Amino acid sequence: MLVLGFAEFEHQAKALAEQLHCPYKRVDVHRFPDGEALVKVPAMLPGHVIICRSLNQPDAKLIELLLTIAAAREHGADKVTLVAPYLCYLRQDKAFNPGEAVSQKIIGKFLADQIDELVSVDAHLHRVTHLQLAVPCRRAVNLSAVPLMVSFLRDNLDNPILIGPDRESEQWVAALAKARNLDYIVCHKQRLGDRRVHVALPESADVTKREAVIVDDMITTGHTVMEAARALLAAGAAKVHCLVTHPLFVDEADTLLHEAGVAQIWSTDSVTHSTNAIALAPLLAQAIKQS
Ligand code: R5P
């Protein structure tokens, strides 16, 4: 077994190799002036190759993955496991308007055609409930970061109230609250555009003088957490923090959040970011060992 990684995710890929007690090697990627990619894998590979890379900003990475897997199979790999803590193109799980491509299905089939196994974390599944239905490969595992978040909260905060900024986040916030016996509320969110959301606290919510932690699967533009933080502070919360699995952070998301009064932002290392506070490697390694 060997772990292959890429420059921007090397720390996490090396940590995974360490947990699995197996070697790590980097895939070299050269970009030609016209934008095409040349990938180079090590010349002699073992039978089981684990490719560890999150698929945020995915379009170029998907082509690099296709080339890497083909080269890996030519150089000895007969089983390929993709460990992609953040998995792309899951949100478009149906055509919302006539003519739209159902990206989840198309990219899911593309990946399933290349790999034998997939391991991901808090995959954004909504209408499709199992990861294997989205990516129909032999084994597809969707891990939850909740157990790691439980330990993190226990070590860092006393008795926070947990906040789900929308209905979809209830699965994470409820599990986390249950494990630590904490209060939680789920807000009402209305999405008005890519960078426009409205978030309202439930009428019965009392957050006065409470330390609040907004829990979500991902921060992209930051508008969801920003609106939730503003509502919490306006309702009298003493402090607002945020705990998230996937810190995608596009545009100036961190600045927006700090300007809205968010004190601390913590994330898992599913995507490399300055807010990374929880390492996923032990969880990922456990899932691979069970295959
Ligand atoms: C939505 O369903 C997700 O769980 C996140 O709440 C959303 O993707 C966050 O996006 P943004 O940071 O752009 O508001």
Q: What share of the chain in percent tops pLDDT 90?
A: 98
48 inside domain: yes
Same domain, 284 and 263: no
40 inside domain: yes
The CATH number that applies at residue 56 is 3.40.50.2020
Question: Edge to edge, what strands does the sheet with 2-5 contain?
Answer: 24-26, 2-5, 48-52, 79-83, 117-121, 139-143
Same domain, 101 and 193: no
Same domain, 119 and 161: no
Same domain, 169 and 70: no
Q: Tell me the β-bridge partners of 51.
A: 4, 82
Ligand 1 touching residue 93 (CB < 6 A)? no
Beta carbons within 10 angstroms of residue 64's beta carbon? 18
pLDDT of amino acid 41: 98
Same domain, 69 and 137: yes
Q: What share of the chain in percent tops pLDDT 70?
A: 100
255 inside domain: yes
Q: Which two tokens stand for residue 207?
A: 């957050």
Measure 28 CA to ligand 1 centroid, in angstroms. 33
274 inside domain: no
Per-residue confidence band for 76, with pLDDT thresholds at 50, 70 and 90: very high
Same domain, 94 and 217: no
Q: Name the residue at shortest CA distance from atom 10 of ligand 1.
A: 220
The total number of structural domains that make up the chain: 2
Give 185-213 pLDDT, tens digit per residue. 999 999 999 999 999 999 999 999 999 99
User: Which ligand 1 atom sits closest to the C-alpha of 126?
Assistant: 2
Measure 213 CA to ligand 1 centroid, in angstroms. 16
Using DSSP, state whether 189 is helix, strand or coil: strand
Same domain, 48 and 128: yes
- From 73, 123, 75, select the one nearest 270 (Cα to Cα): 123
Ligand 1 touching residue 245 (CB < 6 A)? no
195 inside domain: yes
How many Å apart are CA 199 and CA 211, to the nearest integer? 19
56 inside domain: yes
User: Which ligand 1 atom sits closest to the C-alpha of 124?
Assistant: 4
Measure 225 CA to ligand 1 centroid, in angstroms. 8
Q: Which domain holds residue 189?
A: 146-269
Give 230-270 pLDDT, tens digit per residue. 999 999 999 999 999 999 999 989 999 999 999 999 999 99
122 inside domain: yes
Give 49-71 pLDDT, tens digit per residue. 999 999 999 999 999 999 999 99
Per-residue confidence band for 126, with pLDDT thresholds at 50, 70 and 90: confident
Q: Name the residue at shortest CA distance from atom 5 of ligand 1.
A: 218
Ligand 1 touching residue 197 (CB < 6 A)? yes
Same domain, 24 and 104: yes
CA distance to 22, 153, 199, 277, per residue, from 261 (Å): 43, 20, 16, 20
Chain position carrying tokens 């209305």: 190
pLDDT higher than threshold 90 for residue 291? no
CA distance to 115, 158, 160, 237, 266, per residue, from 182 (Å): 40, 10, 7, 16, 18
CA dihedral 103, 145, 219, 277 (to 10 degrees): -140
Same domain, 84 and 178: no
Measure 155 CA to ligand 1 centroid, in angstroms. 26
Catalytic site positions: 189
Ligand 1 pocket test target in 56, 168, 216 with most atoms within 8 Å of CB:
216
Ligand 1 touching residue 224 (CB < 6 A)? yes
User: Which ligand 1 atom sits closest to the C-alpha of 221?
Assistant: 13
Give 131-170 pLDDT, tens digit per residue. 999 999 999 999 999 999 999 999 999 999 999 999 999 9
Same domain, 150 and 134: no
pLDDT higher than threshold 90 for residue 38? yes
Measure 60 CA to ligand 1 centroid, in angstroms. 22
233 inside domain: yes
Same domain, 92 and 184: no
Mean pLDDT within 31-41? 98
Same domain, 254 and 121: no
Ligand 1 touching residue 217 (CB < 6 A)? yes
